[in-house]
Amino acid sequence: MVDLRNDAETIFNSAISSAMPSSLLNKKIQRIDDCLIINNKKYHLNGNVKVVAFGKASVDFSKSIESLIGDHISEGISSVPKGILNHFNYSNEKIIIREGADGNLPDKSSEKTTKLICQMMKNSGKDDIVLVLISGGGSSLLSMPAEGISSSDKLKTINLISQSGGDIIQLNTVRKHISSVKGGQLSHLASPATVLSLVISDVLDNSLDVIASGPTVQDYSTFGDALKVIHDLSLENKIPDSVMNRLIQGSLGELEETPKSCDNADTFILGSNQDALDSAKKQAESLGYDVVIHSSNVSGLARDVGLEYADLAKMKIREEIQKKVCILGSGETTVVVKGKGLGGRSQELSLAAASELQGLKNVLLLSAGSDGQDGPTDAAGAFADGCTIERAESLGLDFKNYLEANDSYNFFEKLDDIFSPGLTGTNITDLQILLITP
């Protein structure tokens, strides 16, 4: 299986490379003299650009945009994940880099950076262009609780929704209504300046109001929608009182809704998981695989999706294929946390798949987060194949116990099947790479 692992890693790396801001900017943005051209729309530069960046791709994003229009940048602030500067070198003069959001969660550092960003936005004039660089993970890196809600209450709410199986749309619907900057509120701070947002999407269907909780675009959700999320997940008696009170007040019309228009803002999506899948497909074909793109909108419970990939492998084997096959998928699954183990959705997906891959020859599945970090672990994901369960049993490991304890990391770590490429510097949803040979 060594060759299959090497192939899976090569395909994964190709997908990540195509989703880096530097690659996407080179393909989709032009600078001609003192004009920035995006989708045939021109923005005139006159030393009037302020840069704001937040998300897991912020380091390369900031570096690339400074290389492109640095002579027109007056100031900038970039909120980047804690520890990422250990992986990427970045020296600059105009964009201040600040680390925060340890473990994918908002913290005091990210909140302090957000306050600085807000101040810079407020100080913008009508002739300024505020260039906002947004990528996945931005919800944690741009964080300022709404008045009356403490940081700890907001964090508890986020954790409860995530651990109850809430998807990204549900999570961000609530986030937008307990925040001072999300759901279009950031762009309003900069009015009357022009807010130009460049986005790398990490959500299904590339919904702009969901990516990083839509800080620069109009918000289609309401306080009532946020309250419905709490009800649907049966969290009414667990959510902090400060959050529940705000959502109830808002739903009764006692608080101002999030902005339903952002007339001073233009937004462009530079890249998404489709760019990554296209690159992965080309790489797999160069390695001799017939390629099938299963879906770019993979969703549902991670363990259910794992079984789905195992079924795809069995189907291909029954077809008695004569050539190597690569099945690619991308999306964002969810996990209902009932145990006290350590893991993430990609590792849980692989663990569930392993049970059904048992005994199959020449099959390998890699499920991994494109950001290089799966849940609160140092892994991006894990490998599973037809021998995973057999090898585990030889070590006295019962996969069912690990699955029920949501302890996929410790299961795969004991088998040396963890995939840990380190922080990648981008984020375009999770990737699944299923390889099958005759």
- The percentage of the chain sitting over the pLDDT mark of 70, rounded to a whole number, equals 99
Please, which pLDDT band fits residue 14 given cuts at 50, 70 and 90? very high
Residues 258-265, mean pLDDT to the nearest whole number: 90
**What is residue 104's predicted lDDT score, i.e. its pLDDT?**
78
Per-residue pLDDT, 308: 97
Condensed to tens digits (0 to 9), the pLDDT of residues 105-128 reads 888 999 999 999 999 999 999 999
pLDDT at site 132: 97
Could you give the residue ranges of the DSSP H alpha helices within 89-150?
108-122, 138-141
Q: What is the pLDDT of residue 161?
A: 95
* Res 304 pLDDT > 90: yes
Question: How does DSSP assign 264-302, residue by residue?
Answer: TEEEEEEE-HHHHHHHHHHHHHHTT-EEEEEEEEE-SBH
Q: Which amino acid is at 163?
A: Q
E strands of 105-248, at which residues?
Answer: 129-134, 194-200
3-state secondary structure of 82: coil
Residue 191 vs residues 76, 156, 194, 237, 263: alpha-carbon distances, Å: 17, 32, 7, 39, 9
Cβ neighbours of residue 170 closer than 8 Å, sequence gap 6 or more: 161, 229, 232, 233
pLDDT given for residue 92 in this prediction: 66
User: Which single residue is written with the structure tokens 């964009």?
Assistant: 95
330-358 mean pLDDT: 95
Strands 35-38 and 41-44: antiparallel
Alpha-carbon gap, residue 37 to 199, rounded angstroms: 15
- Where does the pLDDT of residue 263 fall: very low under 50, low under 70, confident under 90, or very high at 90 and above? confident
**137-151 per-position pLDDT tens digit:** 888 999 999 999 999
Question: Residue range 91-96: average pLDDT?
Answer: 80
Q: What mean pLDDT comes out for the span 48-56?
A: 96
